[in-house]
Amino acid sequence: MKIRFRIRYLILLGVIIRGAVNTAEAQTPAGIFRADALTYRYYLEQKWDSLTHAGKTFIRDGIDFYYLRMRMGIAYYEKHKYSLAIPHFRKALQFDPSSQVALEYLYYSYLFLNREMDAHLAGTDLSPETQGRLGIQPRFINGFSTDYTYRTFRPEPFSFPIPDAPEGKQQIPEQMHNLNLTFTQFAGKRVRLIHSFTNFKQQSTNYEKTSVRDYLFTSWLNQYQYYLNVSLQPLPGVTVSTWGHYIYLHYPYVYEKNSSRTQILYAYQNDYLAGVSASLTGRLITMDYSYSQVWFGSIHTQQHTAGIGIYPLGNLNLYATYNLNFLKQNPERNFHSIQQITTGLKITSKCWSEIGLSEGKMYSFSDATGYIVYNQENPYTLLAYATLYFLPSSRWSIYIKGSFLKGESRFTSSQIIMNQINFTSYSITGGVSWKL
């Protein structure tokens, strides 16, 4: 036993001594010269795989300097693996904080990953001359987008009135229009503001049963919305946000003065949504969490959302995200869940595709950190969409989106919920976004 122990001890000691010798040799001028010469040759020959493989070996052996990191970053950049290039450009900036070349590569790596706040932070550290050449000088408005959606609904066959039903009402949607305009601002290096204005209109068939008679009429519901998101980036890849969403709702109702005098009038309602979120972006994975509260009329909802995103290629050529939402509405005691899956794929150098699926009771629910709200009268149970993005340049894009959803319309009263009518819906959306 003692002999075996001594042998193991000597082997371990030999490994430690050999590693120390190799590290010492690597850090000598000869070791640095060898690393510099080999990676420079691979750089000139554009052998990016060989360069990254050799660079990893040299770094593992204790060799590390500015040009080694720049060449490795450029190698990953040329392979479009931007998330793998970023750590090397950041390390190069530790060796030379004034390097405009490293900052410019870092800026575009963030930009091509759609990491807007990181790109802005890197861009503010560029010299005025470089900023002018790249066209990224400070502006009051840094970007805007606008889109329009038309949606049509197809309900199952239905008929009114409902015999022996108590007082109550039911709404069956027919068509919807949605127009949105969004602006982005940066208030300093680490703070971003998003302002969004939305006009939403929906035409529906309305059935209302009162103590006097039954009413069946068609009318329009109007919504005017303002959304504000304030995001702070304390560290690269870390974002903390808070947001609020105000909705001014204009909806129809039956006004009965007496049995012979009735009118269809419009009432007003103020709806609110507020929340906070935090996100962490790594090399190939993103994680985020948000909490929000919704006040839609008499309905108060608490919502927790946890999400994860996977980018296996180190870029946006292929990705997948998964969100799990937990909601609880008063007076319910238990949470119910909504699951969301999204996948994206690059088709050509200027075209990307994305498909998504949401399943669960989407009622008094918000999505995209409160940017999208589901405050409709009828719950949606399934939503699927497909989007094509066209990017003529790195600064502006256009997209077209088609979606399909399923939902339920029910007669509701203080006593009972009945007369469920299922419906499907199709929509088309067109939009454009511009980064100034």
Has residue 92 got a pLDDT over 60? Answer: yes
- Name the token pair of 253: 């109702």
pLDDT for the residue 294: 95
Domain boundary among the residues 69, 103, 134 is at 134
Q: Which of 121, 150, 147 is nearest to 136 (CA)?
A: 121
Confidence band of 146 (pLDDT split at 50, 70, 90):
very high
What percentage of the chain exceeds 70 in pLDDT? 92
pTM as predicted: 0.88
Q: What is the CATH number of the domain that holds 178?
A: 2.40.160.60
pLDDT for the residue 259: 59
Residue 257 and residue 167 in one domain:
yes
pLDDT for the residue 258: 62
Can you give the residue range of the structural domain that contains 53? 2-134
Residue 109 and residue 6 in one domain:
yes
pLDDT for the residue 227: 98
Q: Which of 100, 154, 110, 92 is nearest to 130 (CA)?
A: 100
pLDDT for the residue 257: 60
Q: Which amino acid is located at 415 in the chain?
A: Q
What percentage of the chain exceeds 90 in pLDDT? 76
pLDDT for the residue 406: 97
pLDDT for the residue 3: 47
Q: What is the pLDDT of residues 333-362, one digit of tens each?
A: 889 999 999 999 999 999 999 999 999 999
Q: What is the pLDDT of residues 268-323, one digit of tens each?
A: 999 999 999 999 999 999 999 999 999 998 889 999 999 999 999 999 999 999 99
Taking the C-alpha atoms of residue 281 and residue 284, their distance in angstroms, rounded to an integer, is 8
Q: What is the CATH number of the domain that holds 9?
A: 1.25.40.10
How many domains does the chain divide into?
2
- Name the token pair of 380: 């949606």
Has residue 403 got a pLDDT over 90? Answer: yes
Residue 206 and residue 255 in one domain:
yes
Residue 361 and residue 423 in one domain:
yes
Residue 264 and residue 400 in one domain:
yes
Has residue 408 got a pLDDT over 60? Answer: yes
pLDDT for the residue 414: 79
Has residue 38 got a pLDDT over 60? Answer: yes
pLDDT for the residue 2: 46
As a whole number, the mean pLDDT across the chain is: 90
